[in-house]
Amino acid sequence: MDATHYYNPNGEDILDEKLYGGSPTGFVDFNRSRYRWDSNIYDLMNANTWFPSEVNTASEKKNFEHLTDNEQAIYKMTFAQLSFNDSAQEEYLSDFRRLANNRLVKAVLSLQIMQEVNHSKSYAVLLDACGNSEEVFNLYKHDAALNKKNQQVAEQFARYIDGGSADKMLLSAMASVNLEGIYFLLGFSYIYLLGDKVPGARDMIKFIARDELNTHLPLFANIFKTIQKENKIAASTIDAAYEMISDAVEIELEYGKYLLNRYPIMGVTPELMEQTVYNYANDRLKKIGLEPAFEETPTTYLQKLVTKHLEMNEVKSNFFESNVSNYAKSSIDLNDF
């Protein structure tokens, strides 16, 4: 590796560092940001730092055993898929970070990598407490639908991550928008539907969902918009982005309907599932500056359930006695997002 990769005194000024393409000097300077969103998202990520030990999982095994057979299956299949999502995202972020140019954006990506590892740790802690860790982490070996979805997610990540152009970088960012904004959401809602039956799982998912939807999705939405703004992106590339989110919707619904068909639970219907995923997809397109492309319906019950658990101030207690993760942390303005 050439030393200018780390320090280039003839490189760009920090305020001139584009997100893709260029030669940075080598400094991470939080006092001088080319963008309005990168340091804000970094601060919000830091403010929301949490650890799996903060979640009480002492009764998870007993609570899990009281679930119906269908509910136990949904629990295991959901965590099997969610745990893969975070594992794949951690590896992808390392590759995406290597291709990024702006050093401050790279710093934010570094913090997200840490948080994805923390999510993986949280699944291990939760499933170990539940007593089925090895079974759940090996379900992809025995369930063809789970294995297929994991493979499809991996293929979206791999398709454009070799870099080489701003267009490829944009579509690579789109893969992360799909992961953070589409592939997690039905899984989150399943655990919220179980709710008080498995409070350890519910509370762990609350923390994870807040990371994904309050900071990780905004980060990649802004990355997408910034790459598009700073470069001449081909119309065919935007068409490809639409195709990618359409594929993500199809992938998510195929797996969701598979679970629903095998393990029907709590009033979830194929129609409700479709409306929820279509609404999420339209919202993600709006957030990256593109026009909605799916049938729009009023906010669904599953969407409201996820939104309810994103609220940061739901725990009422004395400020000085309250756990750090309970008081308000979402007041930082994300500006462009």
Residue 337 in this model has a pLDDT that exceeds 50? no
> pLDDT > 90: what percent of the chain?
85
Q: Choose the weakest-confidence range: 71-85, 94-108, 202-216, 259-273.
A: 259-273
Which residue from 94, 97, 88 is spatially nearest to 20, judged by alpha carbons? 97
Residue 250 in this model has a pLDDT that exceeds 60? yes
Cβ-contact 82, 109 below 8 angstroms: no
Tell me the pLDDT tens digit for each residue of 40-81: 999 999 999 999 999 999 999 999 999 999 999 999 999 999
Which pLDDT band, with edges at 50, 70 and 90, does 321 fall under? Answer: very low
Which pLDDT band, with edges at 50, 70 and 90, does 312 fall under? Answer: low
pTM for this one? 0.92
Cβ-contact 260, 71 below 8 angstroms: no
- State the DSSP string of 234-259: -HHHHHHHHHHHHHHHHHHHHHHHHH
pLDDT at position 323: 43
What number is the average pLDDT over the span 188-213? 94
pLDDT at position 101: 94
Buried b (16+ CB within 10 A) or exposed e, 288-322: bebeeebeeeeebebbebbeebeebeeeeeeeeee
What number is the average pLDDT over the span 128-140? 96
pLDDT at position 313: 52
> Which of 12-21, 181-190, 240-249 has the highest mean predicted lDDT (pLDDT)?
240-249
Burial of 87 (0-12, 13-18, 19+ CB in 10 A): middle
Any residues with CB less than 8 A from the CB of 316 and at least 6 apart, and which?
none
pLDDT at position 336: 54
Of the candidates 20, 35, 92, 123, the residue annotated as catalytic is: 123
Tell me the pLDDT tens digit for each residue of 258-305: 999 999 877 889 999 999 999 999 999 999 999 999 999 999 999 999
Task: Tell me whether residue 123 is one of the annotated catalytic residues.
Answer: yes
The mean pLDDT value of the chain amounts to 91
Which residue from 213, 222, 238 is spatially nearest to 303, judged by alpha carbons? 213
Residue positions counted in the chain: 337
Burial of 191 (0-12, 13-18, 19+ CB in 10 A): buried
Report all structural domains of the chain as residue ranges with CATH numbers, in order of start.
Answer: 34-308 (1.10.620.20)
What number is the average pLDDT over the span 303-322? 62
Tell me the pLDDT tens digit for each residue of 141-177: 999 999 999 999 999 999 999 878 999 999 999 999 9
- Alpha-carbon gap, residue 61 to 198, rounded angstroms: 9
Q: Which residues pair with 24 in a beta bridge?
A: 12
Tell me the pLDDT tens digit for each residue of 180-195: 999 999 999 999 999 9
Residue 109 in this model has a pLDDT that exceeds 50? yes
Angle, nearest 10°, between helix axes 69-99 and 166-178?
160
Which residue from 300, 259, 260, 305 is spatially nearest to 277, judged by alpha carbons? 300
